[in-house]
Amino acid sequence: MKFELEFLDEFIKKECQKSKKSPSNATVPDFQKKQLLIEEEVDRIKKSFTTHLLDAADESRFELFIQHHQAYIIQLANKVSTAIDKEESLRLTHISPGPNRLNLCKLLLIGLEELLNHIENYFSKYFDQDQKIPDTYALISIKEFEEKLEVLSSISLEQKLDKKLSELVLYPIREFVTKEEKQTITFRRLIYMKYLAKELVRLSESQEKKSFTQAVYEHLFYLNFNSFHVLQYATGRIRQEIEVLPSITAQLEHLSLTLKELSQAQVKPYFALKAKRESLKDMLSTWLEAEIHFIEKKRQLTLMIPPGGVRIENLNDFKVKTALSVSQLAYSIRLLKDAGIITNENKAELIRFFSKYFSSAHNENISQESFRSKFFGYERSAVTHIQGVLTKLMAHTKRDE
C-alpha cells in the first residue's frame, strides 16, 4: 500500500523547520497557494484511505497501514509544533492576519488534526488509541480540562460528594492538568477522561433519589475505573458495612447480596482507566468471594467448638475406647439401629463415624471396610457376647432401682 504522507512530510521540512533565519512572523511567498495545497492534500489523503480500505484484500494489512499513517501524522504534528510557542498553540484555530510562517504552520497543524479526527471517526476499528497524542493537542486539552476541573470541583462541593471519593475520581484529570513534565498521555486516556467528566456532570443533573456519592460510586463500575485506590475504597466501604452487623450469618448475607448485585452490574465494553488491568468489577468480585470464604470458614470453626471450649485438634484425636471386638462393636451399633434407638437413616455415615471415633479392645484404629463387613455380616459369637453384655446391663439397672 502506498505511503500517503510524503508530500506533507517534504512540505513541513521546507516550510516549518525552526530556524533563526526564518522567524515566525516572516512572510511566506505564495501563502494562499500553499494554503490551498494543504487543504487539497488533506482531502486527497482522506479519500485515499477509503480507496485503500475498499481495495484491501487483507484487513490486517489495512489495519497496519492506518496505524502507520496515524503514528506518522502525530510525528509530523510534533515537528510542526516546534515552530509554534506554547501560547500560540493554545490559540491554534485563531489565524491572525498576515501571510506569515506562523499562520502557515497553524494551517498545517489544523490539517493534521483533521486527518487524525477522520481516522478516529471513520476508521475507529483500526484507530490505535494507545498512540501518544500530539504535543499541541496536549496543550489544548490541558487548557480545556483546567476549566472542566473547576466545574467538577464545584459540583462535588454542591452535591456533597464524599471527599475521599472526589479525590480519587478527579485524580486522573488533576494529574494531567498539573503535571509539570512533558505529557505522555494517549488517545485512550484522553477519551476516558473526557467521557468521565461528561458523566459526572450528567449524574449531578439526574433526578435519581440516591445520593450523588452513591450514584458516582456505582457508576465507577460501569466506567471501569480500575484504580487500585478505588478498589481499596470499595473494600473499605464494605468492611465498615459488615462490622456493624450483629452476627456472622448477617455478614455473610450482606456480602452475598453485594456480590450478587455486583455480578449484575453493567460494564461499558472495551472501556477502562487502565487498559491492561483487570476490571474493577472483577477485582472486587474476587475480593468478595475470598471474604465470603474466609467468614464461612470462621463460622464453621465457631460451630465446631463445643461449649467447654475443647480444641478442634484434640477433638479429632479423641476416641471412645471399648472392651468390645470390632465384630461385637459393629453388631451393637446395628442392634441399636434396628431397635430404633439410633435414628440416623444413612448407614454409611454411621459406619464412617463409629469406625473413626471408636476403638475396639485390640485395635486403636478401626478400618471402615472392616467395620462395614462386620456390620452387615455379623458373627454368631458376637450376638452371644452382646446378649451377655445386655444381661449385665439389666443387672446394673436393677441395682439402681
Tell me the residue range of the domain where 325 lies.
Answer: 319-399
Boundary residue ending a domain (128, 160, 192) = 128
Tell me how far apart the alpha carbons of residues 388 and 317 are, in angstroms, rounded to a whole number: 31
In which residue are the cell numbers 475507529 written? 124
Query: Residue 400: is its pLDDT beyond 80?
Result: no
Query: Residue 37: is its pLDDT beyond 50?
Result: yes
Q: Which residues pair with 132 in a beta bridge?
A: 186
- Listed residue (6, 319, 270) closest to 127, CA to CA: 270
Q: Is 347 helix (H, G, I), strand (E, B) or coil?
A: helix
pLDDT band at 16 (very low <50, low <70, confident <90, very high): confident
Is-contact 79 10, C-beta < 8 A? no
Boundary residue ending a domain (178, 213, 248) = 213
Is-contact 248 295, C-beta < 8 A? yes
Please provide the average confidence, as pLDDT, over all residues in the chain.
87
> What are the residues whose beta carbons fall under 8 Å from the beta carbon of 361, sequence distance 6 or more?
322, 323, 324, 325
The percent of residues above 90 in pLDDT, for the chain, comes to 54
pLDDT band at 332 (very low <50, low <70, confident <90, very high): very high
The verdict on 344 and 252 lying in the same domain is: no
The verdict on 347 and 328 lying in the same domain is: yes
Tell me how far apart the alpha carbons of residues 368 and 375 are, in angstroms, rounded to a whole number: 10
The verdict on 80 and 136 lying in the same domain is: no
Residue 264 lies in a domain: yes
Query: What are the tens digits of pLDDT across the range 147-156?
Result: 999 999 999 9
Instruction: State residue 114's pLDDT score.
Output: 93
The pTM is what? 0.67
The mean pLDDT of 383-400, rounded to a whole number, is 88
Nine cell digits for residue 34: 500553499
Tell me how far apart the alpha carbons of residues 390 and 332 are, in angstroms, rounded to a whole number: 10
The verdict on 97 and 136 lying in the same domain is: no
Instruction: State residue 214's pLDDT score.
Output: 94
Query: Residue 376: is its pLDDT beyond 90?
Result: no
Instruction: State residue 246's pLDDT score.
Output: 87
Nine cell digits for residue 151: 466545574
The verdict on 162 and 273 lying in the same domain is: no
Residue 190 lies in a domain: yes
Query: Residue 51: is its pLDDT beyond 70?
Result: yes
Residue 168 lies in a domain: yes
Is-contact 16 104, C-beta < 8 A? yes
pLDDT band at 310 (very low <50, low <70, confident <90, very high): very low
Candidate from 87-101, 117-131, 322-336 with smallest mean pLDDT: 87-101
- Listed residue (16, 89, 2, 15) closest to 47, CA to CA: 2
In which residue are the cell numbers 484491501 written? 56
In which residue are the cell numbers 484404629 written? 365
pLDDT band at 312 (very low <50, low <70, confident <90, very high): very low
Structural domains of the chain, count: 4
Query: What are the tens digits of pLDDT across the range 260-276?
Result: 999 999 999 999 999 88
Instruction: State residue 167's pLDDT score.
Output: 96
3-state helix, strand, coil in the chain (%, to 5): 65, 0, 30
Tell me how far apart the alpha carbons of residues 110 and 107 are, in angstroms, rounded to a whole number: 5
The verdict on 121 and 30 lying in the same domain is: yes
> What are the residues whose beta carbons fall under 8 Å from the beta carbon of 301, sequence distance 6 or more?
312
Residue 313 lies in a domain: no
Nine cell digits for residue 65: 497501514
The verdict on 296 and 326 lying in the same domain is: no
Is-contact 54 44, C-beta < 8 A? no
The verdict on 150 and 199 lying in the same domain is: yes
Phi-psi region of 224 (alpha: psi -120 to 50; beta: other; left: phi over 0): left
Boundary residue ending a domain (192, 213, 234) = 213
Instruction: State residue 303's pLDDT score.
Output: 67
Query: What are the tens digits of pLDDT across the range 75-97?
Result: 999 888 887 766 655 565 556 66
Residue 1 lies in a domain: no
